[in-house]
């Protein structure tokens, strides 16, 4: 049966995956019983830029003169010949890149859409030396967790059919070197919600361990020395959260039972929450002198890189504790070292710059610092939450629904 749009006349061809009425609906056409039967001119090949392919997407179209223009959510309109005359064309479903690369076996993720029904092909890859398939066929790439950029970024340059990059981290800054090589329209999604509980737990652990002298007790146990005395408590302290997304909110949840005098919040822009005001970054000069504990849980962006510089640290009150569960480059390491070595501030760092922190770096031996090796998210809480995220996200992808946690789209 022929089909026509407002501008062009088309006829769908038979496809084992898509019947004519379904295909006509897919490409945004309406039946036109009177449309002429097209001839068969030489075809050209076009590749779509759908941001969210439906369950039976046509990512490669063969056309004979009427390109299909795509935008977010699917086809938008057709462009006929330059002279604007309506010309019969032929559009048929040819091939579809359906590969989904995941660092989990399909059977390990409960709730995934069935591969056959969703038209997907799941490929297991956890950063091993052998790639699971041709990267050019990968449509959705789940970046392996806790693998170096040297391992996980190179395949991106060959993923010419890529539509979605799903990280298993809250931050996506490590992808920046590869973004320029991605096709336009690729959605990059982070793992918001996966690491909230684990990172918030570690933030509280670092705060309590630092205030209550746990590093000194560990050293005392090693040297068989009894370090009794009075130590600071978290109770009655003023805490400032720099970054108030999902992780910042989870940290405040866990601060609630500790009888803090005050919890202040800072984020990119001011807003009001059930707990109170979230201040904009420009409020930091006023808030820093009031805080006993400053917790960094902000994403690494151009605005937050070296946010904690000499001026920031100078505004912190004497004896204050800086806790970093964000990213190492949020802090100017040289400026922090100067404050630690003077004894004016203390710090608890899950992330550092550089990272990993090399042997011999002065931070290792700086007074008043507690260092953990970037383990905020890598706990037993990670796997169940990561699997739930992937199952839900792939169900959305397969159905053509908007994806969650989209932080950027390549241009």
Task: Give me the pLDDT at residue 51, please.
Answer: 40
Retrieve residue 358's tokens.
């090399």
Q: How far apart are CA 57 and CA 70, in angstroms?
A: 12
Task: Give me the pLDDT at residue 97, please.
Answer: 76
CB-based contacts of 151, cutoff 8 Å, min separation 6: 127, 144
Task: Give me the pLDDT at residue 96, please.
Answer: 57
Positions in the chain whose pLDDT score sits under 70: 1-96
Q: At what angle do helices 214-223 and 196-211 cross, to 10 degrees?
A: 60
For 73, phi and psi rounded to 5 degrees?
A: 90, -5
Give the domain ranges of the chain.
Answer: 2-93, 99-192+383-409, 196-371
Task: Give me the pLDDT at residue 48, please.
Answer: 37
Does domain 196-371 fall into CATH 3.40.50.10800?
no
Task: Give me the pLDDT at residue 338, please.
Answer: 98
Equal fold, 99-192+383-409 vs 196-371: yes
Asked about 374 being catalytic, the answer comes back as yes
The correct CATH number of 99-192+383-409 out of 3.30.2350.10, 3.40.50.720, 1.10.10.60, 3.40.190.10 is 3.40.50.720
Task: Give me the pLDDT at residue 324, please.
Answer: 98
Of 195, 227, 361, 374, the catalytic one is: 374
Task: Give me the pLDDT at residue 150, please.
Answer: 96
Q: How far apart are CA 288 and CA 294, in angstroms?
A: 8
């Amino acid at each position: 049966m022929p089909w026509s749009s407002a501008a062009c006349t088309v006829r769908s061809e038979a496809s084992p995956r898509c019947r004519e009425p379904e295909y006509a609906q897919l490409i945004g056409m309406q039946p036109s019983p009177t449309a002429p039967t097209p001839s068969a001119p030489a075809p050209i090949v076009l590749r779509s830029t759908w941001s969210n392919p439906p369950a039976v997407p046509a990512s490669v179209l063969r056309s004979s003169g009427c390109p299909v223009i795509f935008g977010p959510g699917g086809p938008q309109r057709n462009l006929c010949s330059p002279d604007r005359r309506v010309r019969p064309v032929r559009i048929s479903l040819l091939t579809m890149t359906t590969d989904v690369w995941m660092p989990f076996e399909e059977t390990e993720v409960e709730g995934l859409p069935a591969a056959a029904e969703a038209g997907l092909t799941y490929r297991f890859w956890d950063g091993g030396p052998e790639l699971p398939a041709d990267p050019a066929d990968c449509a959705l790439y789940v970046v392996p967790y806790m693998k170096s950029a040297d391992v996980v970024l190179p395949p991106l340059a060959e993923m010419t059919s890529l539509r979605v990059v799903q990280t298993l981290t809250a931050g996506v800054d490590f992808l920046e070197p590869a973004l320029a090589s991605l096709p336009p329209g690729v959605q990059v999604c982070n793992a918001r919600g996966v690491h909230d509980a684990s990172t918030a737990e570690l933030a509280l652990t670092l705060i309590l361990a630092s205030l209550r002298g746990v590093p000194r007790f560990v050293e005392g146990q090693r040297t068989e020395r009894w370090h009794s005395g009075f130590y600071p408590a978290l109770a009655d302290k003023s805490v400032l959260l720099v970054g108030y997304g999902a992780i910042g909110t989870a940290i405040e949840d866990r601060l609630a039972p500790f009888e803090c005098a005050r919890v202040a919040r800072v984020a990119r822009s001011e807003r009001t929450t059930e707990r109170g005001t979230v201040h904009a970054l420009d409020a930091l000069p006023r808030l820093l002198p009031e805080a006993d504990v400053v917790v960094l849980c902000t994403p690494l962006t151009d605005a937050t890189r070296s946010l904690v510089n000499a001026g920031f640290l100078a505004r912190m009150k004497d004896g204050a504790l800086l806790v970093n569960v964000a990213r190492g480059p949020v802090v100017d390491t040289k400026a922090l070292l100067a404050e630690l070595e003077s004894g004016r501030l203390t710090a608890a760092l899950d992330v550092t710059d550089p990272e990993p922190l090399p042997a011999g770096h002065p931070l290792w031996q700086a007074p008043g610092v507690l260092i953990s090796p970037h383990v905020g998210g890598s706990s037993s809480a990670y796997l169940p939450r990561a699997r739930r995220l992937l199952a839900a996200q792939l169900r959305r992808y397969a159905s053509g629904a908007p994806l969650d946690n989209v932080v950027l789209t390549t241009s």
